[in-house]
Chains A and B, each alone.
Chain A
Amino acid sequence: MRKSADVVIIGGGSLGCSVAYNLAKKGYKNIVLLERKYLSSGSTGRCGAGIRQMWGTEMNCLISRGSAEMFKTLGEETGFGDIEFRQSGYLLTTYDPKQTERLKKNLLIQHKLGIPSHMITPQEAKEIVPFVNTDGMDAAFFCQEDGHINPFKTTFAFAKGAQDLGVEIIRYNPVTDIKYNGRKITSVVTEQGEILTDTVVNAAGAWCKNVGKMVGLSHPVEPERHQILITEPLESSMGPMVMSFAHDSYIQQVPHGGFLMGYGNPNEPKRINFNHGWEFLEQMAQKAVFQLPILKDVRFVRQWAGHYEISPDGQPILGPVPELDNYIMALGCGKGFMLSPMIGKLIAEKMAGEETSLPIDILSIERFAKGELIVETGVV
């Protein structure tokens, strides 16, 4: 392990690896990325593997739109190979006219920013997914350019790109402390030793608060457990991710053939909890069999749990903090994986002192103190 680094990135998920790759592309030479376990072991590797652009705030739309473009070339650009990006669409269903009205308003923002989403009738939804149950369905929203991507392969593509450009990635090495003096960071302490540095990127996802505490800061981000199950592989029969606001759930058939489905109970206490439970199975199975009745005879083979990092407004927290120099936040807040290419690029631009491709200062942590929140209501 290097004794000193120009930048230390904490977190080996898609965001940390993307920041590492994008900084290395900018010419940063001495970057160390620290991961407490293995790459993608936190939220990235446990997510629903969806790529969605149908959001309700301009920044979420813009970052996801830019990321969808970058995903197209990431595998080739890094020499990793196929990362299973499939623009097979998202089908958002609503069972409540009020919810429909809210999502209709989001369409205006999406269309202004070039996202090809549209509202459809339940009958039209059936043309896209013939076995979807339309009982009680009020309307649906569809965007063909949303879809699926393999979170593991994506993370490893970023990691390969970064390593090929000289980034050192250290696995199974938790950060135990960050030393600082006044506004200046001096080193990062890990289980395997100390690294002298004045620049730290917090891409620790569900653990971001713990990292913040090491520099005396309190980050307003709470981990919310989500559970997922996957079925045995079947012949490809469903293109889009079927997401229901009424059921708080998402279901998609991944390229491997299994139907992956998940949801999180928002009433659970907010904490890191990787246990999976029987209650989830029963509720998820009911949600799935209601929405897609043919799944009743399909066997599920595996279940697991991971976390959304919930920020007060459902938007990422990006960039420097007012209290400390060169402490950079790179938190996707519930959708970091699907936003990872663009967030990595924006953070690298910001750190290099360049003009950023999107106005990320509005996503600074300072917005919470100032009360300048633009709330994303479309998180499922």
Chain B
Amino acid sequence: MDEKNIYLCRCENFTLKELHDLLDSGITSMEEIKRLSRGTMGPCQGKTCRDLIAKEIAIYLNKSMSEIDMPTYRAPVKPIKLGEIAGGDKNA
């Protein structure tokens, strides 16, 4: 299958082709790849794509996944409306 059509991060439309282009350019840190591609930065918070991207980086670098600098998961677990948070205790 064409790498252009393989989506690693569906929220941000980040493909395997784009990942390989970044790796070929010498950018091999996953933290850096996240910030340049936006992969893992969408509404799902990387919960579907983080491991997929890490695995592809590990294959490319011939390393184990534990050696990849995987980005942290950030809060919140699920997107929340600002109005609901702004209400503070009144919403409790």
Interface residues as binary, A44-62 with B (CB distance below 8 Å gives 1, 0 otherwise):
0100000000000000000
User: Is the CB–CB distance between B45 and A301 below 8 Å?
Assistant: yes
Interface residues as binary, A261-303 with B (CB distance below 8 Å gives 1, 0 otherwise):
0000000000000001000011001101100000111111111
Task: Find chain B residues with CB under 8 A from A282 CB.
Answer: 85-86, 88
Task: Find chain B residues with CB under 8 A from A288 CB.
Answer: 82, 86
User: A132 CB to closest chain B CB, in angstroms?
Assistant: 16
Task: Find chain B residues with CB under 8 A from A41 CB.
Answer: 31
- Residue from B27, B36, B83 having most chain A Cβ neighbours under 10 A: B83
Residue B3 interfacial (CB < 8 Å): no
Interface stretch, picked from A32-40, A116-124, A179-187, is A32-40
A300: which of B36, B38, B82 is its contact (CB, 8 Å)?
Answer: B82
User: Is the CB–CB distance between B69 and A172 below 8 Å?
Assistant: yes
User: Is the CB–CB distance between B29 and A38 below 8 Å?
Assistant: yes
User: A379 CB to closest chain B CB, in angstroms?
Assistant: 25
Q: Is the interface of A mostly helix, strand, loop or mixed?
A: mixed
A295: which of B35, B82, B88 is its contact (CB, 8 Å)?
Answer: B82
Task: Find chain A residues with CB under 8 A from B80 CB.
Answer: 299-300
Residue A156 interfacial (CB < 8 Å): yes
Task: Find chain B residues with CB under 8 A from A298 CB.
Answer: 81-82
B75: which of A171, A172, A231, A276 is its contact (CB, 8 Å)?
Answer: A276
User: Is the CB–CB distance between B86 and A289 below 8 Å?
Assistant: yes
Task: Find chain B residues with CB under 8 A from A45 CB.
Answer: 35
Residue A153 interfacial (CB < 8 Å): yes
Q: Is the interface of B mostly helix, strand, loop or mixed?
A: loop
User: Is the CB–CB distance between B74 and A302 below 8 Å?
Assistant: yes
Residue of A nearest to B41 (CB): A302
User: A225 CB to closest chain B CB, in angstroms?
Assistant: 15
User: Is the CB–CB distance between A296 and B82 below 8 Å?
Assistant: yes
User: Is the CB–CB distance between B79 and A152 below 8 Å?
Assistant: no
Q: How far, in whole Å, are A300 and B16 apart by their CA atoms in the complex? A: 28
Q: How far, in whole Å, are A164 and B80 apart by their CA atoms in the complex? A: 44
Knowing A300-B76, A302-B45 are in contact, say whether A231-B82 is a contact too (CB < 8 A): yes
A153: which of B26, B36, B83 is its contact (CB, 8 Å)?
Answer: B36
User: A179 CB to closest chain B CB, in angstroms?
Assistant: 29
Residue A304 interfacial (CB < 8 Å): yes
Task: Find chain B residues with CB under 8 A from A372 CB.
Answer: none
Residue A232 interfacial (CB < 8 Å): yes
Task: Find chain A residues with CB under 8 A from B36 CB.
Answer: 152-153, 156
In the complex, the 3 A-B pairs of residues with the closest C-beta atoms, listed nearest first: A296-B83, A299-B79, A285-B85
B-contacting residues of A (Cβ < 8 Å)? 37-41, 45, 152-153, 156, 163, 171-172, 231-232, 256, 276, 281-282, 285-286, 288-289, 295-304
14 A-B residue pairs with CB within 8 Å: A38-B32, A39-B32, A41-B31, A172-B29, A231-B82, A281-B85, A282-B85, A282-B86, A288-B82, A289-B83, A289-B86, A296-B81, A300-B79, A302-B45
